[in-house]
Copies of this chain bind each other. A is one copy, B any other.
Amino acid sequence: MNQLQKLLNEMGIVRQNSPGLFTLTPLGVRSLEKLVKIVDDELKYVGCQKLQLPILTAGNLWKTTGRWESTGSELLTIKDRHARDYVLSPTHEEAITDFVASLPQLTHKQLPLKLYQITSKFRDEIKPRFGLLRGREFTMKDLYTFDKTVEAAHETYDLICTAYNRIFQRLNVPFVKVVGSTGNIGGLSSHEYHFPSSIGEDDLKICSACNSGSNAEIATTDVCSKCGSPVKQTKGIEVAHTFLLGTKYSQILNALFSAEDGSRSVCQMGCYGIGISRILAASVEVLGTDSEIRWPKLIAPYSVCVVAPKGGSKEESAIQLAHFLANQIDQIQPFMQDVILDDRMTTTVGKKLMEAKRVGYPYIIVVGKKSSQPVPLVELHDLNQNTQNVYTVAELFDYLKQTVKN
């Protein structure tokens, strides 16, 4: 159980430092770490391993693949004191391929390799906008896979997509998966995951019958290529992208393995991104209302906020009840270390409730006027259900335990 001292609510989730550069506040970091855990769990479930590549990648590697030139002015580069070039990496195909090329005795028995990291990435946007949605420094999960054949690479690609589906299903934000362009990353084929939203920057064409679709960049007709039904156009916020790369990077950077016949063969690669900090912003954009933030329950900064009465007010005797509730709810397994108590003594219940809604705690419990009665009553605001009810303490616990099961 944590106490909401130290102006946590007032700090909000994120604050801008410079154009496109943001501080994640303590509440923002809690959400980020919850999302990271979901991604870690689902990727490890399909056999991925987490590593950490340097943020700085040697410029020579990017020159070798041609991306030093082709990426254009969004690429942030730096010279060290010895005048050697480095990239502030926006993505790590070069670095990871060079890493795998350096493994001394890679054999077909050790493939597929599925290596990922969750780190800060950089892109010098000409006009950073929409906060975390298009910043210049952002947290991204990038996964790279290495297979022995094209067929095996396809299987790995499909496996990773099942993990992506599970991640977005767990977040419980509506999403679509569409065929995407391979762009500057390159490769054989790609898919994008979008949260449909009117503020999305991508135009998508989605079949009205079978729900398959494409980014409008690459869709040429208005009938579905799979079932022939008419497609409808919608806007989306891209939150993930997968690429079947083939040998574009592994060939040129010599990521080789010993095949069954003893020959040295080139790895078949895939790469897969998830915009971690972007998902935080996109989720509340899609789910929120004008006056309230709504989080996917699993990544709200805290699941439960208990609002205690103001000190010295008539309800002061209920302050102990607020502490009791916060402590008891913190004992319910899924809410453990996930309850925050707003016991600021000089702030009114009304102001604390308004702030709590603005942060978007999924369950806000107000211990107020009716809590000093012989049978104390508390208000429960369930933001995701958009309900507000008055409960006895026993009813409140029943509600919370029930909601956990759903």
Contacts and interface: CB of A to CB of B under 8 A. Distances in A.
Interface of A: 5-8, 10-11, 15, 17-18, 21-26, 28-30, 32, 49-58, 73, 76-78, 80-81, 84, 86, 88, 95, 98-99, 102-106, 109-110, 113, 115, 117, 119-120, 122, 124, 126, 136-137, 346
Contacts of A52: 23-24, 28-29, 32
Given A49-B6, A346-B109, A54 B17 contact: yes
Given A6-B49, A21-B56, 7 more contacts: A5-B110, A11-B103, A17-B53, A18-B54, A76-B78, A77-B78, A81-B126
Contacts of A105: 7, 10
20 contacts: A5-B110, A6-B110, A7-B110, A10-B105, A17-B53, A17-B58, A17-B99, A23-B53, A23-B95, A26-B50, A29-B51, A55-B120, A56-B137, A76-B78, A77-B78, A78-B88, A81-B124, A88-B88, A109-B346, A120-B120
A103 B7 contact: yes
A312 to B, nearest CB: 15
Dominant secondary structure at the A interface: mixed
A165 to B, nearest CB: 24
A6 B26 CA distance: 37
Contacts of A109: 346
Contacts of A122: 56
Nearest to A17: B54
Contacts of A119: 120
Task: Count copies of this chain in the complex.
Answer: 2
Contact of A26 (B51, B103, B104, B106): B51
A158 B119 CA distance: 33
Which 3 pairs of residues, A with B, have the shortest CB-CB distance? Answer: A26-B49, A21-B54, A24-B52
Interface centre among A17, A53, A110, A115 (most CB of B within 10 A): A17
Nearest to A117: B29
Contacts of A8: 49
Contacts of A6: 49, 110, 113
Given A18-B58, A58-B17, A99-B15, A24 B5 contact: no
A5 B113 CA distance: 10
A55 B52 CA distance: 16
Interface centre among A15, A21, A110 (most CB of B within 10 A): A21
A49 B6 CA distance: 9
A23 B10 contact: no
A56 B56 CA distance: 13
Contacts of A21: 54, 56, 58
A304 B137 CA distance: 38
Given A56-B137, A105-B10, A17 B51 contact: no
A103 B10 contact: yes
B115 A26 contact: yes
A99 B23 contact: yes
